[in-house]
Amino acid sequence: MKNFVINDLGNTIATFDYAYDVNDSRIAKSVDRNGDGTPETVERYVLDGGEIALVFDGVGNQTERFFHGVGVDEVIAVEKPGTGNVHPTAHIRYKFS
């Protein structure tokens, strides 16, 4: 599914493109923020039981790992890879209901 943002002159100024699997779960997203036809952001999703488990960028680097609770859409933590000497788990954000 492709979505366009168009200015008052009818020019495309941004494009958002989404890909879905046969279960209608989003498996990819690309964002072209300036409308030049080249996406600045690409994300691909690995699903586990219908929930996003891992997120990869356009070149295959893992950018996020989701930890889910027992409820539907219950994200209890998101791990982002560390940079430099920082241990990856130092970047976990917790969300409590």
Beta bridge partners of 28: 19, 44
Q: Tens digit of pLDDT for each residue in 11-67?
A: 888 999 999 999 999 999 999 998 888 999 999 999 998 889 999 999 999 988 888
Residue 71 has pLDDT above 80, yes or no: no
Number of domains making up the chain: 1
More confident position, 21 or 75: 21
Q: Please tell me whether residue 66 adopts helix, strand or coil conformation.
A: strand
What is the rounded distance in angstroms from the CA atom of residue 24 to the CA atom of residue 43?
17
Q: Which two tokens stand for residue 15?
A: 């494009």
- Amino acid 69: pLDDT: 81
- Amino acid identity, position 44: R
Q: How far apart are CA 68 and CA 51, in angstroms?
A: 8
Whole domain around residue 82: which residue ranges? 2-94
To the nearest 10°, report the CA torsion of 16, 92, 63, 65: -90
* Average confidence (pLDDT) over 63-72: 83
Please give the pLDDT value at position 83: 45
- Residue-level pLDDT at 39: 92
Assess whether pLDDT exceeds 70 at residue 87. Answer: no
Contact criterion met (CB below 8 Å) for 23 and 45: no
